[in-house]
């Protein structure tokens, strides 16, 4: 069994940690404040000791204030670490707006956030065994459209040509684990069926037996800047490379299976 060090025990990374521990792995992880049994990100002595013993290293920490904090503080140590595998959770946002077209890993990197684009590239350059996972909208238990509907936070937006890709948190963990024996490189982890967000809302309301929220324009919905930015890009994310090279298949190939699993 392996020893995994995870930088940033957020939603997706914590789910992966649970999967690995269930398989008998030793998993250590960092948080900003070292809560629970995690390692404080700034505790260099403990982090460097964990790096020296880790067989696998993963970062799920996004850029902050224009820079990748993991690379800035521990990049040199990660580059020299004896681990056999290194991974980074990136974003399909690096592709930018594709006007609804399909994008695969050969698509140009032209996302709106230059720091995210730079971090994606920097991790790939760090060493030869890095796998970068480009993720679309992440959902799963406790963080699904069903939760948004119950809380009154679901919207139907009148943008009929808008298409999104998404991935269930279980399938992120499955893709990362599949990559341990696959070739390094960049991989999209997304389900098989990109679709409009309104379809998720309608499906979720049907499952819950709740009325549909009204169809609104972006201005009428009063979305936060972050939520509004979600609608500024339109693309379908292809997952064929991960299937071919990693032997990965999403457990939840569409929102239908995935949303039902969260009910």
Question: CA 160, 228, 12 angle in degrees (round to 5)?
Answer: 100
Q: Positive or negative, the Cα torsion across 143, 149, 154, 157? A: positive
Band (pLDDT 50/70/90 cuts) for residue 180 is very high
Per-residue pLDDT band at 239 (split at 50, 70, 90): very high
For residue range 84-133, what is the model confidence (pLDDT) as tens digits? 999 999 999 999 999 999 999 999 999 999 999 999 999 999 999 999 99
HSE on the CB side for 143, CA within 13 Å? Answer: 13
pLDDT of amino acid 12: 98
Q: Give me the pLDDT at residue 226, please.
A: 84
Task: List the single range of 19-33, 93-107, 138-152, 225-239 with lowest mean pLDDT.
Answer: 225-239
- Residue 66 DSSP code: T
> pLDDT per residue over 1-18, tens digit each?
799 999 999 999 999 999
Rounded to whole angstroms, the Cα distance separating 256 from 248 reads: 19
8 A C-beta contact, residue 223 and residue 142: no
| 193-237 pLDDT tens trace | 999 999 999 999 999 999 999 999 999 999 898 888 889 999 999
Structure tokens given for 247: 């032997």
**Helices and strands, number each (H, E), in the chain:** 11, 13
The rounded percent of the chain whose pLDDT value lies above 90 is 94
pLDDT at 82 (0 to 100): 98
Q: Residues 16, 21, 27, 30: is their CA dihedral positive or negative?
A: positive
Those residues whose C-beta lies under 8 Å from the C-beta of residue 142, and which sit 6 or more positions away, are 262
Location of structure tokens 């996302």: 111
What stretch of H or E contains 209? none
């Amino acid at each position: 069994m392996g020893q995994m060090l995870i930088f940033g025990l957020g939603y997706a990374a914590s789910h992966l940690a649970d999967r690995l521990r269930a398989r008998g792995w030793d998993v250590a992880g960092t948080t900003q404040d070292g809560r629970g049994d995690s390692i404080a990100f700034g505790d260099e002595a403990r982090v460097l000791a964990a790096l020296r013993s880790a067989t696998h290293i993963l970062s799920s920490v996004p850029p902050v204030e224009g820079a990748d904090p993991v690379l800035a503080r521990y990049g040199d140590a990660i580059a020299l670490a004896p681990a056999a595998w290194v991974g980074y959770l990136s974003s399909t946002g690096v592709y930018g707006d594709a006007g609804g077209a399909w994008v695969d890993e050969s698509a140009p990197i032209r996302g709106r956030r230059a720091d995210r684009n730079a971090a994606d590239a920097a991790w790939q350059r760090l060493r030869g065994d890095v796998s970068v996972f480009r993720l679309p909208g992440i959902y799963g238990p406790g963080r699904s459209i069903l939760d948004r509907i119950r809380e009154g936070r679901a919207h139907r937006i009148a943008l009929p040509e808008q298409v999104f890709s998404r991935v269930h948190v279980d399938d992120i963990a499955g893709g990362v684990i599949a990559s341990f024996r696959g070739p390094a490189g960049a991989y999209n982890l997304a389900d098989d069926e990109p679709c409009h967000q309104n379809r998720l809302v309608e499906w979720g309301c049907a499952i819950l037996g709740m009325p549909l929220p009204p169809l609104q324009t972006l201005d009428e919905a009063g979305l936060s800047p972050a939520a509004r930015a979600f609608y500024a890009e339109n693309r379908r994310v292809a997952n064929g490379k991960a299937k071919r090279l990693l032997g990965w298949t999403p457990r939840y190939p569409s929102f239908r299976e995935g949303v039902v699993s969260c009910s």
